[in-house]
Copies of this chain bind each other. A is one copy, B any other.
Amino acid sequence: MSGAGIRPGETRIDLPEADDARLRFIGVIRTPYATRADCPRQGREDGPECRIVLNPEWAPALAGLEDVARIEVLYWLDQSRRDLVTQAPHGRPQPTGTFSLRSPVRPNPIGLSRVALVRVEGAEVVVRGLDFVDGTPLLDIKPLRCPEAP
């Protein structure tokens, strides 16, 4: 990717094509947010319901999840560039290293949200607290341990 679209203070690096491991999308996440501009800055646990829709072959893997109060959802931020080592987000006084930010721009754009589980319905999991665009591909669901780690 070229240097197009980067801001003053941002630094990109040249990288070979990524192919150290390969992911499988296992479902899709339905949220009320059609575009990034529609998304809240941070999800809230009293936000609107969102639906994690698993591909049918993974439905049996939800067994037992109904007893879990909070989960971690991992997803793929497929719109994100992956070659910035420093970034200059709006509202930050100076450029910052990618690993000091939760920006979707990262070498492996894996998104991670901790959310409240509302209910499981067949191959779908209803949650509150997501903050990204409708149609985002799902990578994983993990239960939060009880008692939750600090």
Contact = CB atoms under 8 A, between A and B. Distances in A.
Interface of A: 11, 13, 15, 17-26, 42, 45, 57-58, 60-65, 67-68, 71-72, 74, 76, 78, 82, 85-86, 95-102, 106-108, 110, 112, 114, 137, 139-143, 145, 149-150
Nearest to A15: B24
Counting every copy of the chain, the complex holds 2
Max chain B C-beta neighbours (<10 A), residue from A18, A20, A78, A82: A20
Contacts of A21: 22-23, 25, 76, 78, 137
Contact of A108 (B24, B60, B95): B24
Given A18-B22, A99-B62, A108 B57 contact: no
A108 B18 contact: no
Instruction: Please report whether the interface of chain A is mostly helix, strand, loop or mixed according to DSSP.
Output: mixed
A107 B11 contact: no
A65 B86 CA distance: 12
A62 B86 CA distance: 9
Given A58-B85, A67-B100, A100-B143, 7 more contacts: A18-B22, A20-B76, A21-B22, A22-B23, A23-B108, A62-B99, A65-B99
Closest 7 CB pairs of A and B: A63-B97, A64-B100, A18-B24, A61-B98, A99-B141, A61-B85, A20-B25
Contact of A24 (B82, B101, B143, B149): B82
Nearest to A99: B141
